[in-house]
A = this chain, B = another copy of it.
Amino acid sequence: MLIYLPGNHFNIFGLKKKITLKHIARELEVSISTVSKALKNSEEIGRDTKEKVQAFAKLYNYKPNNIAISLKNKRTKNIGVVIPAIVHYFFTTVFRGIEKYANAHGYNVIVCVSDESFDKEVINMEMLANGSIDGFIMSLSAETQQKGDFNHLKEVTEQGIPLVLFDRVTEEVACDKVIINDTEIAYQAAEKLIKDGRKKIALITTYGYFNVSQKRAEGYRKALIDHGLDYTEDLILQLPYREINEESILDFFDNNQIDAVLCVNELFAILCMKLIQKRGFHVPKDISFIGFTDGILSRYASPALTTVAQHGDRMGEVAAQMLIERIESDIDEDEETFRTEIIGATLIERESTCN
């Protein structure tokens, strides 16, 4: 039996265990509901009782149990974030944006990393969908995009759990989305290279069917064609995510007289730039580079990389805002009025292109 005396609510283990309404009620010889109401300053409860209860609660640092409240309200105040990777500049900035907005609005964030795997994505979502979260923010794993299987997303939305997709999205799922204007910004980036007088502009992209890569490729293609340059598959190099064969890159550069490169991420750009420089070429004089993702690598590379800033922070904030609005809009499902928010990407010019 615990005895609650001021300054002494250590139990036999020397622990100040969390106190519950029941404890307060027992100690003050009132009912649990009285305590609950007193703490909420209900008009139903008398002055004296309220003061007594509040003082006691304060003394013992009473804090309501989140889990119990979640069960009662069917609101966890948690949002689930499922992303393909965490050790990745773009995703961490998006996450930072999400966390910032969510926290400011009383929500916590549970992160699961799909590791680009379809199965992990499914498992993680199923775990979280059983009451742990009020909504999802996610970006599709590579495997999911390749597979084209979005049933796990559909199930979640059919259950009435709000979902916001960002960056790597799909049209097959009806939900809110946040993306950047990939095609346009890729067009602008390519156009900048063209205006700098470059004639053989390569595109270095990923393997597989990444939504964003495709859109960027489309912008690149359109820019070349619009400006009367030859668009040929020879100018496009696809690289795997891991275990990049440097030889193949050098071969690619050797076989085409490339004078500018647009890469769909910063890693490819930095890597190629380094190889090319070792080969004796000068950046940007001989070859200029533009990448995507204004990450830490872009800023500190030599030369600093001209790049497309995707504004991940902003993206995360917008995604969180859309999700939380959905969650809190009690008006039963604004039936099919899903929005797609477009974050304007911007080209940041640095040393890897001519001013």
Contacts and interface: CB of A to CB of B under 8 A. Distances in A.
Nearest to A85: B96
A37 to B, nearest CB: 20
A258 interface: no
B66 A131 contact: yes
A76 B67 contact: yes
B96 A86 contact: yes
A143 to B, nearest CB: 17
Top 10 closest A-B pairs, CB basis? A65-B131, A15-B160, A66-B131, A67-B131, A87-B92, A63-B130, A16-B158, A66-B130, A66-B132, A67-B71
A124 B108 CA distance: 9
Contacts of A103: 112, 124
A288 interface: no
A241 interface: no
B297 A274 contact: no
Interface residues of A, number: 56
A78 to B, nearest CB: 7
Contacts of A99: 86, 111-113
Contact of A108 (B110, B155, B267): B110
Nearest to A277: B302
A105 interface: no
Interface in A272-304: 274, 277, 296-297, 300-302
Contact of A300 (B87, B127, B271): B271
Copies per assembly: 2
Contacts of A267: 296, 300
A184 B22 CA distance: 53
29 contacts: A15-B158, A15-B160, A15-B333, A16-B155, A17-B159, A17-B160, A63-B126, A63-B129, A63-B130, A65-B71, A65-B130, A66-B131, A67-B67, A67-B71, A67-B76, A68-B71, A88-B92, A92-B92, A99-B112, A100-B113, A103-B112, A108-B110, A108-B112, A108-B128, A109-B112, A270-B300, A296-B296, A297-B300, A300-B301
A39 to B, nearest CB: 14
Contacts of A127: 66, 108
Nearest to A106: B127
A231 interface: no
A92 B96 contact: no
A252 to B, nearest CB: 19
B302 A274 contact: yes
Interface in A93-141: 93, 95-96, 99-100, 103, 108-113, 124, 126-132
Contact of A87 (B78, B93, B131): B93
Given A78-B110, A112-B99, A159 B67 contact: no
Which of A16, A70, A76, A126 neighbours the largest number of chain B CB atoms within 10 Å of its CB? A70
Nearest to A296: B297
